[in-house]
């Protein structure tokens, strides 16, 4: 559990944030570059000194400007995974991994080298020098090194941003496994929505140094007022669901969510496993009546909540927020909106193509991992 | 191969230079770190004072040492009281050599400290290393090539020290007559050209050995940093 209240002025900007997290799992700190995300976690780590504020970690005060408490970074027991590889070049991978572990009191070494090697697949590179590692391997070693120090909180500063896209896809499962195996709360700074949807439970949006929003990922990505901040990526909605059953005959998995049951191509996971999925706005079609002859697969009844931008504007496409038990964004041309005579409050049927579920975004939220 | 007198000169030179180098090394590292990392008012002045021996005539440095450390000097009296005598002893020769070599040592080490990626040091701190532990396990190994270079440079400078030494502790056979002073003495004595030349050869030999050792050590250090394959 961490509680943070921080203020700091720079020459051109200032930071004033206040938040708490109590649950394990990943809390994403999202914002544009320059919004102050990294400064916030640097202050939590003790690398940057706030002008005023208070930070509590697991009931202990690690910074308090009022009582002049300011623990050194090495006394805070907070791990930090940096954006770029900061492995020690004069030590091999094994000694890098053990650097923090050796400095932790024996009684607090709950996570062992073998645990970390297993979860992160580091076995083949233990005796190698960091200079010979690829970017993705180096990041995995950095994860392991930070975790092995057995921190109470783990900070990650855009750990994937120095990697190219295929490498990112390779590393994401390792972060999921860290989250699920070691139960250390993680504050994850990023400006990539894909990573948040895949990894995070909670989302803090930082804009111009202050907290613009704080809530679950599902909640915040569905909010219209935050769309200028969450950006173009949000041509879609994020839904939390649980696996209801696996239909091996047709190779489908049934997911239950507040709007009913959604059928998607089979995914791994036992019934009851929570998953998150993203549905792109262009993969939903709208009909005012139950389509005749259409299979009833993934058709949900609901109503229009909002049309953005308003139907009177001149753009070709509009985004429509509908409610089928959960909020969903749908992208339609203005022509279709006029033809269907859509307006807020109108009853509609939404047809979600089963194949449109973004498999990339399917991920266990808490509890058991999806392998 | 060498006469007893020559062996004595060699031994004394090594003794003076090694003591001078290794006693000033901790101070050299501390001062270099301070200049590389700490910003304070008057830093230019401190930097200048440390570099003075590099630009002053060595005789001037020797004379200043004499003023400060002679038995009548302000500091000399105090040191004499606790049993350290610099005036006209080999310890004085080592002090003169150390002072003259200090700026070279500090420059080399400072450069290597400035080139250390401080983000690595910060990473060490977040992994639970205190400032001293961080310095010993991260900074020191990373500056090792520069440290070796600075040490060898200083050692070579000590070995060649002449002006400050002869001014401060004079030219006493067996006590302060190091290689350069012995060569100078021989060149002033008619008919000793051959003897002088033998010592010149010895000087060249020591210098080459020192260079070879530093080269090997620096290569090993760099290899351990993964800089070369």
Banded model confidence at residue A295, pLDDT cuts 50, 70, 90: low
pLDDT in tens, B143-159: 998 999 899 989 999 99
Instruction: State whether B127 and A90 contact (CB < 8 Å).
Output: no
Residue B206 near residue B141 (C-beta atoms within 8 A): no
Strand bridging mode A202-207 / A26-30: parallel
Residue A240 near residue A255 (C-beta atoms within 8 A): no
Question: Among positive and negative, which fits the CA dihedral A204, A207, A209, A213?
Answer: negative
pLDDT in tens, A98-143: 999 999 988 888 898 998 998 899 999 999 999 889 889 999 999 9
- Fold exhibited by the domain A237-364: OB fold (Dihydrolipoamide Acetyltransferase, E2P) (2.40.50)
Q: In what order do the strands lie in the sheet with A236-247?
A: A260-265, A252-257, A236-247, A274-280, A363-364
Query: B4-37+53-224 architecture in CATH?
Result: Orthogonal Bundle (1.10)
CA gap A7, B182 in Å, rounded: 69
**C-alpha to C-alpha distances, A302 to A107, A206, A305, A362, nearest whole angstrom:** 56, 33, 9, 24
Burial B30-67, CB ≥16 within 10 A → b, else e: ebbbbbbeeeeeeeeeeeeebeebeebebeebbbbbbe
Residue A218 near residue A37 (C-beta atoms within 8 A): no
ipTM, two decimals, is 0.80
Instruction: State whether A99 and B127 contact (CB < 8 Å).
Output: yes
pTM: 0.78
Strand bridging mode A26-30 / A186-190: parallel
CA gap B112, B86 in Å, rounded: 32
Instruction: State whether A89 and B129 contact (CB < 8 Å).
Output: no
CA gap A187, A200 in Å, rounded: 9
Nearest CA in chain A to B119: A86
Task: Look up residue A56 and give its DSSP letter.
Answer: E
CA gap A55, A119 in Å, rounded: 31
Chain A closest-CA separation from residue B108 CA (Å): 20
CA angle B66–B70–B74, rounded 5-degree value:
100
**Predicted pLDDT at A369:** 37
pLDDT in tens, B51-96: 999 999 999 999 999 988 887 777 877 887 787 888 889 999 999 9
**Predicted pLDDT at A124:** 92
**Predicted pLDDT at A364:** 45
What's chain B's Rg over C-alpha atoms?
20
**Residue A236: strand, helix, or coil:** strand
Q: What class is the A2-232 domain?
A: alpha beta
pLDDT in tens, A84-93: 989 999 999 9
The residues, ordered by sequence, that sit 6+ positions from B202 with a Cβ below 8 Å of its Cβ are B2, B6, B10, B179
Instruction: State whether A146 and B126 contact (CB < 8 Å).
Output: yes
**Predicted pLDDT at A317:** 77
E strands, chain B, where?
none
E strands, A148-298, where?
153-157, 186-190, 202-207, 210-216, 236-247, 252-257, 260-265, 274-280, 284-287
Q: How many helices (H) and strands (E) does chain B have?
A: 11, 0
CA gap A176, A362 in Å, rounded: 11
Nearest 5°: phi and psi at B183? Answer: -65, -45
Task: Look up residue A357 and give its DSSP letter.
Answer: B
**Predicted pLDDT at B128:** 93
**Predicted pLDDT at A294:** 65
Banded model confidence at residue B98, pLDDT cuts 50, 70, 90: very high
Look at residue B120 and tell me whether its pLDDT is greater than 90. yes
Chain B CB contacts of A104 below 8 Å: 128
CA gap A75, A80 in Å, rounded: 13
Helix B43-55, helix B90-114: angle, nearest 10? 130
CA gap B167, B88 in Å, rounded: 10
Banded model confidence at residue B228, pLDDT cuts 50, 70, 90: very low
Sequence ranges of the domains in chain A: 2-232, 237-364
For chain A, say whether B115 makes contact (Cβ under 8 Å).
no
Instruction: State whether A149 and B127 contact (CB < 8 Å).
Output: yes
Sequence ranges of the domains in chain B: 4-37+53-224
Look at residue A231 and tell me whether its pLDDT is greater than 70. no
For chain A, say whether B224 makes contact (Cβ under 8 Å).
yes
Chain A CB contacts of B134 below 8 Å: 74
The separation between the first and the last C-alpha atoms of chain B, rounded to the nearest angstrom, is 42
**C-alpha A209, offset from chain centre:** 20
């Amino acid at each position: 559990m961490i509680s943070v209240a921080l203020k700091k002025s720079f020459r051109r900007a200032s930071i004033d944030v206040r938040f708490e997290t109590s649950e394990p799992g990943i809390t994403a700190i999202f914002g544009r570059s320059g919004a102050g995300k990294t400064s916030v976690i640097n202050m939590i780590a003790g690398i940057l000194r706030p002008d005023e504020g208070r930070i509590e970690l697991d009931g202990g005060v690690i910074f308090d400007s009022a009582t002049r408490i300011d623990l050194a970074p090495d006394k805070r027991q907070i791990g930090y995974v940096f954006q770029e590889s900061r492995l020690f070049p004069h030590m091999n991978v094994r000694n890098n991994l053990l650097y923090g572990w050796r400095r932790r009191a024996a009684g607090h070494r709950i996570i062992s080298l073998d645990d970390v090697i297993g979860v992160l697949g580091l076995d083949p590179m233990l005796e190698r020098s960091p200079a010979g590692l690829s970017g993705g391997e180096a990041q995995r070693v950095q994860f392991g090194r930070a975790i092995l120090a057995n921190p109470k909180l783990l900070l990650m500063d855009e750990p994937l941003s120095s990697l190219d896209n295929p490498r990112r896809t390779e590393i994401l499962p390792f972060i999921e496994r860290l989250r699920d195996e070691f139960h250390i709360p993680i504050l994850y700074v990023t400006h990539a929505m894909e990573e948040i949807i895949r990894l995070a439970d909670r989302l803090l949006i930082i804009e111009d140094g202050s907290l613009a929003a704080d809530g679950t990922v599902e909640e915040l990505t569905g909010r219209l007022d935050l769309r200028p901040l969450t950006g173009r990526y949000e041509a879609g909605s994020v839904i939390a669901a649980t696996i209801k059953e696996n239909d091996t005959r047709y190779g489908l998995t049934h997911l239950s969510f507040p709007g009913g049951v959604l059928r998607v191509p089979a995914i791994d996971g036992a019934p009851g496993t929570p998953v998150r999925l993203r549905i792109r706005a262009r993969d939903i079609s709208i009909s005012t009546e139950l389509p005749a002859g259409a299979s009833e697969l993934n058709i949900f009844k609901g109503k229009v909540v909002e049309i953005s931008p308003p139907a009177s504007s001149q753009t070709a496409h509009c985004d429509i927020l509908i409610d089928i038990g959960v909020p969903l964004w749908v992208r339609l041309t203005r022509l279709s909106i006029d033809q269907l005579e859509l307006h807020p409050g109108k009853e509609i049927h939404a047809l979600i193509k089963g194949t449109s579920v973004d498999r990339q975004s399917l991920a266990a939220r808490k509890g058991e991992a999806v392998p | 191969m060498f006469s007893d007198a020559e062996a004595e000169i060699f031994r004394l030179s090594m003794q003076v230079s090694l003591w001078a180098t290794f006693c000033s090394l901790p101070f050299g590292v501390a001062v270099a770190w301070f200049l590389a990392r700490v910003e304070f008012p008057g830093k230019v002045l401190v930097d200048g004072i440390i570099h003075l021996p590099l630009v002053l005539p060595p005789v001037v440095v020797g004379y200043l040492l004499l003023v400060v450390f002679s038995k009548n000097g302000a500091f000399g009296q105090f040191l004499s009281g606790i049993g350290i005598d610099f005036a006209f002893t080999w310890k004085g020769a080592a002090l003169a050599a150390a002072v003259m070599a200090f700026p070279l040592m500090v420059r080399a080490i400072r450069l290597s400290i400035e080139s250390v990626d401080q983000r690595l040091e910060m990473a060490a701190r977040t992994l639970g290393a205190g400032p001293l532990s961080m310095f010993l396990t991260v900074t020191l190994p990373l500056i090792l090539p520069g440290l070796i270079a600075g040490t060898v440079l200083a050692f070579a400078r000590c070995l060649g020290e002449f002006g400050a030494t002869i001014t401060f502790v004079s030219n006493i056979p067996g006590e302060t007559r190091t290689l350069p002073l012995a060569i100078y003495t021989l060149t002033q004595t008619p008919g000793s050209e051959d003897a002088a030349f033998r010592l010149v050869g010895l000087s060249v030999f020591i210098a080459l050995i020192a260079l070879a050792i530093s080269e090997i050590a620096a290569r090993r250090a760099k290899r351990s940093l993964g800089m070369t394959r």
